[in-house]
Amino acid sequence: MMKILTLFDLPSDHFCTFAQAIFTNTVLEEPHRHDFHEFFWVEEGEGVHWLNGQPVETRPGDLFLIRAPDVHTFSVHAEGQRQRLVNFAFFTRVWTHVRQRYFKGAPVFFSSPAHASRRYKLDPDQLAAIRLAAGPLRSGLRDRLQTETFLLSVLALLSADRFHAEAKAAPDWIREACTAVGANRNFAGGMPALSRLAGRSPEHIAREFRRHLDCTPTAVINNARMSYAADRLATSDEEIVGIALDCGLENLGHFYRLFRNRYGCTPRIYRLQQRTVAQPRWSRTTA
């Protein structure tokens, strides 16, 4: 007997649910399928996602597209561990409409039969963009417009080469420097760290960044800083001043200005928005 989850008792103008789920059980949850489409991404912790009988290790930043007939379940590795996911579930007819309008005839996203092609690894910029796009859903707006808008926002994000796509035509050293400055908190060192990573003078870097990326090295560094800050605000209880210092910013006012310019709100409000996630309303039937 297979457990089936189904959306039920939604207000007449709601087309989706948006929810947080936390798994702490080392024993596999009972496998289930559903009569709706969904996707989820991992915010915190590691575990195993069993999709149609195949185990897949899951880590923060992983995103999975799940079709209505898929059978899946979850577990964590050891006692005391937990994994926190954010789930977006929506009526299958929403995908049918979106596919016919934007992806007609193409076996993409939910239409792809291959499991691997429905798994994505999100970088901090992508995670931050998805969290920001989910704002209306988080505040309770779940009508067709907001449902399709969020879905299309995520699909557009997944369609694009978001990781410095604008640098594709740039020299290798620029792409490598942009990648390196976003990793292991290299951004905390500011321009001296970027100069060291690139092996070039600050003046040369500034000139070539303007030429190839149409931006300044400082903008690239601050972008990496704010992506890191947004991720820590959403996934940890660290003090804001500590996060600012980790970013290499001792002036808290400057940190707040950069964050507000990037995300349109203060770090505290951003954290509260990410922690306030409505719970889903599902019914369970068996067949």
Q: Residues 177, 90: one domain? A: no
CATH number at residue 26: 2.60.120.10
- Structural domain contains residue 121: yes
Q: Residues 141, 16: one domain? A: yes
CA atoms within 13 A on the CB side of 254: 9
| Listed residues 162, 188, 221: the one ending a domain | 162
Cα–Cα dist 138/130, whole Å: 12
Q: Residues 205, 268: one domain? A: yes
Q: Residues 236, 249: one domain? A: yes
Q: Residues 192, 61: one domain? A: no
Successive 10-residue mean pLDDT values, the chain, 287 residues: 78 92 75 91 91 88 92 84 92 91 78 80 87 92 96 88 51 84 84 93 93 85 88 88 95 94 86 63 47
pLDDT at 5: 84
Q: Residues 184, 173: one domain? A: yes
- Structural domain contains residue 284: no
The parent domain of residue 62 ranges over 3-162
Q: Residues 113, 17: one domain? A: yes
Q: Residues 130, 149: one domain? A: yes
| Listed residues 117, 140, 162: the one ending a domain | 162
pLDDT at 105: 63
- Structural domain contains residue 73: yes
Q: Residues 268, 147: one domain? A: no
- Structural domain contains residue 281: no
| Listed residues 123, 143, 162: the one ending a domain | 162
pLDDT at 162: 42
Q: Residues 150, 185: one domain? A: no
- Structural domain contains residue 287: no
pLDDT at 27: 65
State the DSSP string of 191-248. HHHHHHHHTS-HHHHHHHHHHHHSS-HHHHHHHHHHHHHHHHHHH----HHHHHHHTT
Q: Residues 29, 137: one domain? A: yes
Q: Residues 12, 142: one domain? A: yes
CATH number at residue 242: 1.10.10.60
CB-count burial class (<10 Å; 0-12, 13-18, 19+) for 134: buried
If one counts the domains in the chain, the total is: 2
